[in-house]
């Protein structure tokens, strides 16, 4: 332990104020960091134009390394007097060392091993490291200033023509652009001197060698790292035999299922996600709390896979807006095999050629409902790709669905159970799966509410915003594109009588005849609340006016959209005779003039009678 370190630790026992004052006086009298006569093995200095630097070194035997550093950091009022030096906020400018093999930290500049003023915290420390390879990093991403009444921070973006971001909280007595510009100026004046120097005893110098950090990945299958903003990595993995790969991925996230920079791997023939970064299977990656890391083995069976990794528009190797992770240059995803034999079993290629979509309801804006009908001449596997939005109650707000045109039954819909986070805001949801449909007629729908849709986002958009909506394509080698026909008109079959697309303030009727007693399917959608129906239908016997069936609130269920959208789908028996079908609407909330979210089958707002087989 050096003289400087001994004094600092001794004074800590005499109270926080005495320690701080004594260390400041002592350090001011001592020379600047760096020991003359000690061979330097790594030196990272001057952070005016770069926010992070690194160097690698290998020790041939256990070696004591001396560390001289200068950085910046300031605790808040409560942390300063009552906090634990081993926890709490990290330095906004400081260095650390990681083991090059394990990628885990072995030393870090902290409030405990530095002393001095907030913008000039000096470090004079020693660490004994076992034989092995190591990497030293230093970052100075931004600047903080804390007082009893205010807290200010700025992100220093070194990119040309960038706009430096700032956040200010508390009671800021010196606000405005002058305050901001002054903070930038103060930071830059100190950044020139920030840095860290590592040295060893003269007798150990010959046993130290240097390399460029980060160290190469052994048996690497894929290296998609050092990623910047708005990155989209898509690769095909062709696996010739069962193999196990090690996955190392670093990204960004906060909260449950709220990852902004993350990756996943799917099996192409089933669209099954065989691996994905989540809040639950990742851990802190060092630095800012939002830095997340996954490390683990992944067993892949013989087959073809698709790998995707995406980043949002901030906090990456382009510009860290908070403290970077311990392993910043490996930000992204790396796949590695255990040996060369396993590495040779996996081929990484360009993204698979996109399937030819036979139906696209995409780039859907706010307050819209779009649909398209399609017919399958043969049983088929369909690839469904749908991006939408969930609301605060985790219900779908923008979503797609598919119905059987004959029965009007849902055969698929986007919901929380079959969807994943789609990047950007946590409410963005993605469904990517393969379903099997028998031959027949179908209708695909996509509906949006009044906010957060293509071209008008009220939060971060998904990584694939161009596909906001529903896309269908054929799946599998047996799929025949000629077996699908698409049309704008929705097919209707076995209709006995029908009143649909009913508008406001209407009283509509239609006569029909039943040749012999038969079962009839009644499908009706209307409006009802508080046990009362406002838009509804009924059936009368012609000539007598006798009501033989009527849509009541008690027999209805939710029809999707607003709670007041109600539906009936039941089978009744009608005797031979003449009948009249009726449907009545009030003055609001009807077809194409909704005052709340429409139902999931808006074109059938009304009543339909179908022949039941």
Question: Are 176 and 274 within one domain?
Answer: no
Predicted confidence (pLDDT) per residue in 267-288, tens digit: 999 999 999 999 899 999 999 9
State the Cα–Cα distance between residues 440 and 423, nearest whole angstrom.
Answer: 35
Residues above pLDDT 70, as percent of the chain: 87
Per-residue buried b or exposed e for 142-156, using 16+ beta carbons within 10 Å of the residue's own CB: bbbbbeeebbbbbbb
* Closest to 421 in 3D by CA, of 252, 575, 535, 545: 252
Domain closes at, from 487, 512, 537: 487
**Residues 4-24, mean pLDDT to the nearest whole number:** 41
Question: Are 323 and 379 within one domain?
Answer: no
| 174: pLDDT strictly greater than 80 | no
pLDDT value of position 381 = 95
pLDDT value of position 163 = 54
pLDDT value of position 85 = 40
Which of residues 441 and 560 earns the better pLDDT score?
A: 441
DSSP, res 399 = E
State the Cα–Cα distance between residues 4 and 125, nearest whole angstrom.
Answer: 9
Domain CATH for 374 = 2.60.120
3-state secondary structure of 188: helix
Q: How far is CA 89 from CA 119, 168, 318, in A?
A: 15, 17, 23
Residues above pLDDT 90, as percent of the chain: 71
3-state secondary structure of 207: helix
| 62: pLDDT strictly greater than 70 | yes
Q: Is residue 389 included in any domain, yes or no? A: yes
Q: Is residue 23 included in any domain, yes or no? A: no
Predicted confidence (pLDDT) per residue in 73-104, tens digit: 877 544 444 443 433 457 999 999 999 999 99
| 34: pLDDT strictly greater than 50 | no
Q: Is residue 288 included in any domain, yes or no? A: yes
3-state secondary structure of 126: strand
| 171: pLDDT strictly greater than 70 | no
* 3-state helix, strand and coil shares in percent for the chain, rounded to the nearest 5: 10, 50, 40
Q: Which of 34-43, 61-70, 124-133 has the lowest mean pLDDT?
A: 34-43
| 22: pLDDT strictly greater than 50 | no
- The band of 256, judged by pLDDT with boundaries at 50, 70 and 90, is low
Which of residues 505 and 397 earns the better pLDDT score?
A: 505
Total domains present in the chain = 4
Domain closes at, from 436, 462, 487: 487
Question: Are 95 and 169 within one domain?
Answer: yes
- Between strands 303-310 and 546-550, the pairing is unpaired
State the Cα–Cα distance between residues 352 and 346, nearest whole angstrom.
Answer: 15
State the Cα–Cα distance between residues 148 and 539, nearest whole angstrom.
Answer: 75
Domain of residue 229 covers 220-349
Which of residues 217 and 613 earns the better pLDDT score?
A: 217
Q: Is residue 231 included in any domain, yes or no? A: yes
Question: Are 77 and 187 within one domain?
Answer: yes
Question: Are 509 and 481 within one domain?
Answer: no
Q: Is residue 15 included in any domain, yes or no? A: no
Domain closes at, from 456, 487, 518: 487
- The band of 424, judged by pLDDT with boundaries at 50, 70 and 90, is confident
Question: Are 403 and 512 within one domain?
Answer: no
pLDDT value of position 414 = 94
Question: Are 45 and 124 within one domain?
Answer: yes
Q: Which of 149-163, 167-181, 358-372, 456-470 has the lowest mean pLDDT?
A: 167-181
Q: How far is CA 246 from CA 134, 233, 259, 288, in A?
A: 21, 18, 21, 25
Question: Are 592 and 543 within one domain?
Answer: yes
Q: Is residue 155 included in any domain, yes or no? A: yes
Question: Are 229 and 250 within one domain?
Answer: yes
Q: Is residue 523 included in any domain, yes or no? A: yes
Q: Is residue 480 included in any domain, yes or no? A: yes
Question: Are 455 and 433 within one domain?
Answer: yes
pLDDT value of position 508 = 97
Question: Are 431 and 535 within one domain?
Answer: no
pTM: 0.81
Mean pLDDT score across all residues of the chain: 88
Question: Are 43 and 178 within one domain?
Answer: yes
Q: How far is CA 31 from CA 69, 248, 491, in A?
A: 12, 42, 86
Residue 88 CB partners (closer than 8 Å, separation 6+): 75, 79, 111
pLDDT value of position 524 = 98
pLDDT value of position 255 = 65
| 5: pLDDT strictly greater than 50 | no
């Amino acid at each position: 332990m050096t003289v400087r370190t001994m004094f600092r630790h001794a004074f800590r026992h005499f109270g926080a104020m005495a320690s701080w004052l004594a260390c400041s006086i002592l350090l001011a009298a001592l020379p600047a960091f760096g020991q003359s006569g000690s061979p330097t093995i790594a030196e990272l200095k001057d952070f005016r134009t770069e926010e992070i630097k690194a160097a690698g070194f290998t020790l041939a035997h256990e070696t004591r390394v001396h560390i001289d550093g200068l950085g910046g950091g300031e605790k808040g009022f409560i942390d300063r007097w009552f906090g634990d030096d081993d926890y709490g906020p990290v330095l906004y400018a400081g260095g650390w060392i990681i083991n090059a093999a394990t990628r885990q930290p072995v030393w870090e500049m902290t409030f405990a091993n530095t002393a001095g003023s907030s913008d000039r915290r000096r470090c004079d420390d020693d660490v004994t490291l076992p034989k092995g390879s190591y990497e030293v990093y230093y970052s100075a991403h931004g600047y903080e200033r804390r007082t009893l009444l205010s807290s200010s921070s700025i992100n220093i973006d070194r990119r040309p023509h960038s706009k430096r971001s700032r956040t200010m909280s508390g009671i800021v007595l010196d606000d405005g652009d002058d305050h901001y510009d002054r903070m930038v100026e103060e930071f830059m004046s100190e950044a020139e001197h920030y840095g860290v120097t590592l040295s060893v005893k003269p007798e150990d110098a010959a046993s130290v060698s240097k390399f460029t950090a980060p160290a190469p990945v052994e048996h690497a299958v894929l290296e998609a790292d050092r990623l910047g903003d708005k990155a989209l990595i898509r690769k095909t993995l062709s696996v010739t035999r069962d193999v196990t790969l090690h996955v190392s991925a670093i990204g960004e996230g906060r909260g449950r299922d709220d990852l902004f920079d993350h990756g996943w791997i799917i099996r192409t023939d089933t669209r099954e996600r065989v691996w994905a970064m989540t809040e639950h299977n990742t851990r802190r990656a060092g630095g800012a709390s939002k830095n997340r890391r996954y490390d683990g083995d992944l067993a892949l069976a013989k087959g073809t896979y698709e790998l995707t990794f995406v980043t949002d528009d901030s906090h990456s190797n382009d510009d860290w807006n908070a403290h970077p992770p311990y392993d910043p240059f490996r930000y992204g995803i790396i796949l590695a095999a255990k040996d060369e034999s396993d590495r040779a079993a996996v081929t990484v290629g360009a993204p698979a050629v996109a399937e030819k979509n036979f139906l696209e309801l995409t780039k859907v804006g706010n307050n819209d409902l779009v649909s398209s009908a399609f017919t399958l001449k043969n049983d088929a596997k369909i690839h469904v790709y749908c991006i939408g939005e969930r609301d605060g109650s985790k219900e779908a707000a923008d979503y797609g669905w598919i119905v059987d045109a004959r029965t009007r039954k849902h055969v698929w819909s986007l919901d929380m159970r079959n969807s994943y986070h789609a990047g950007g805001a946590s409410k963005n949801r993605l469904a990517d799966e393969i379903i099997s449909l028998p031959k027949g007629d179908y209708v695909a729908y996509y509906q949006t509410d009044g906010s957060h849709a293509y071209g008008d986002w009220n939060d971060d958009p998904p990584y694939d915003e161009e596909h906001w909506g529903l896309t269908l394509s054929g799946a599998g080698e047996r799929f025949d594109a000629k077996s699908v026909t698409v049309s704008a008109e929705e097919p209707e079959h076995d209709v006995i009588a029908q009143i649909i697309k009913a508008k406001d303030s209407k009283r509509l009727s239609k006569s029909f005849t039943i040749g012999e007693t038969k079962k009839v399917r009644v499908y009706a959608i209307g409006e009802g609340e508080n046990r009362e129906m406002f838009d509804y239908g009924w059936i009368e016997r012609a000539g007598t006016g006798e009501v033989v069936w009527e849509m009541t609130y008690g027999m209805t269920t939710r029809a999707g959209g607003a709670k007041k959208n109600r539906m009936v789908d039941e089978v009744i028996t009608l005797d031979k005779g003449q009948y009249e079908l009726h449907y009545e609407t009030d003055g609001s909330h009807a077809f194409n003039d909704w005052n709340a979210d429409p139902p999931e089958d808006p074109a059938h707002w009304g009543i339909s009678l179908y022949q039941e087989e």
